[in-house]
Structure 1
Amino acid sequence: MSTRHTFIAPDIWVRQIFSAKAARDGGIVRRSLRDIDRMIGRDAFERELQRRGYSAVFNAGQVVIFCNNEPVRLLVGPAPPAQKFSENFCQDFSEKSWSDGKGSLRIPPDQNPSGYRDA
């Protein structure tokens, strides 16, 4: 049995992701890293996230996109050291206060309510 793949232009694919109700409402959407690589590539995807001011996390082949400008906080831990999503991802976001440039989340002390941990 063969799988039939339909071609979708990269700009339409991106538009579909961010026009989902969850994205429009400032929620989260999830996509597989394989689909991101296949449809638009990581660099273009990361540029689009930066343009929109959104954050994303990667785990087990899935990318969770936070469709808002709020800080991302890890609720439970500890976890093994995070691997870089890609070289550009960590480098591009290293200037933001929440990244230490090594792919780890760093929350400024004044924004870290009791019970939250830096990743």
Structure 2
Amino acid sequence: PQPKLVLNPWAAASVNSTLQTVVQSGTGVAAQIGRPAAGKTGTTSSERDVWFVGYVPQLSVAVWAGNDDYSRIGSGATGGGWMAPVWREFMSEALKDTPVQYFEPPSKFPKPKG
């Protein structure tokens, strides 16, 4: 099949920029791996599920924890506190021999009109 552009490059770069902030100074700081990374933490209000979904230009990985019986996994459980460090450990190993790549900034692409 032929590749087809389905997301505006400026919009994709803008999302990447925002999600890098999550790792740089937001709820996902425990996911910092010493190279550009973007991600999103997640925690259900009932503390039944926590997750971190993160990516670098070459690889995306999601990690999740929760109980199959829908019981709480613990008081204070958060995706940033519990799962971001798991993601960091996995990605540090997975990328140890992979060259650093950078995300393209939104300024490289024309902003859509309207």
Return the TM-score normalized by structure 1.
0.27
More strand by share: 2
Which structure has more RCO (C-alpha within 8 Å, separation ≥ 6)? 2
Return the TM-score normalized by structure 2.
0.28
